[in-house]
Amino acid sequence: MGRPRWLSDGEQRAWAAFRTTATLLHQRLDQQLKRDAGLSHLQYEILARLGGAPDRELRMAELACAVSNSKSGLTYQIGQLEQAGLVRRRACESDVRAVYAVLTDEGATRLERAAPGHVALVRELLIDVLTPDQLTALADGLGEANRRLLADDDPCA
């Protein structure tokens, strides 16, 4: 095995900034959503994905991949959302092994109430502090990293 390619000072700075920002952003969004909507950040993401899907439903395996969660972790979250009346499960008629998560009307209402505060905080903490050029660079760079990560042995493919 060859010698490690250590990060340069600039690369280390970028990596540290990314790690810290991602962690802090997730924590602040989670706090805001719990306080204002009674949802975790992951639960909000689940509702948002379902809300944007055709017929407000997704196969559980597809939803797990979309929110980067394990199938068992998603099953737990769907159970919590189901108990709250925000989601229901539906069996697939053509494949007995498949289960769909479906956003209920109550779930859609909760999502609609939570979205403005969530978007406002995303703007305050990230979008509005960056210039348009910085946002473009961020989207391009992270988009490329996402493409490579998903292309490498993607369990969701």
Q: Dump pLDDT digits (tens) for 44-61.
A: 999 999 999 999 999 998
Rounded-to-integer distance, Cα 36 and Cα 34, Å: 6
The reply to whether 97 falls in a domain is yes
As a whole number, the mean pLDDT across the chain is 93
Q: Is residue 155 part of a domain?
A: no
Question: How would residue 72 be classed by pLDDT, with cut points 50, 70 and 90?
Answer: confident
Q: What is the pLDDT of residue 129?
A: 97
Short-list 120, 80, 45, CA closest to 58: 45
Measured between alpha carbons, how far is 62 from 77 in angstroms, rounded to an integer? 15
The domain containing residue 66 runs over which residues? 20-125
CA dist 47 and 57 (Å) reads 10
| Residue 104 within a domain | yes
Give the span between the Cα atoms of 141 and 126, in whole angstroms. Answer: 16
Predicted confidence (pLDDT) at residue 157 exceeds the cutoff of 60:
no
The total domain count for the chain is 1
Question: Residue 80's domain is classified under what CATH number?
Answer: 1.10.10.10
Q: For residue 144, tell me if it sits in a domain.
A: no
Residue 6 in any domain: the answer is: no
- Kindly state whether residue 145 falls inside one of the protein's structural domains: no
Residue 97 binned pLDDT confidence (cut-offs 50, 70, 90): confident
Write the DSSP symbol of residue 97.
T
pLDDT of the residue at 53: 95
In a domain, 141, yes or no: no
What per-residue confidence (pLDDT) applies to 149? Answer: 85
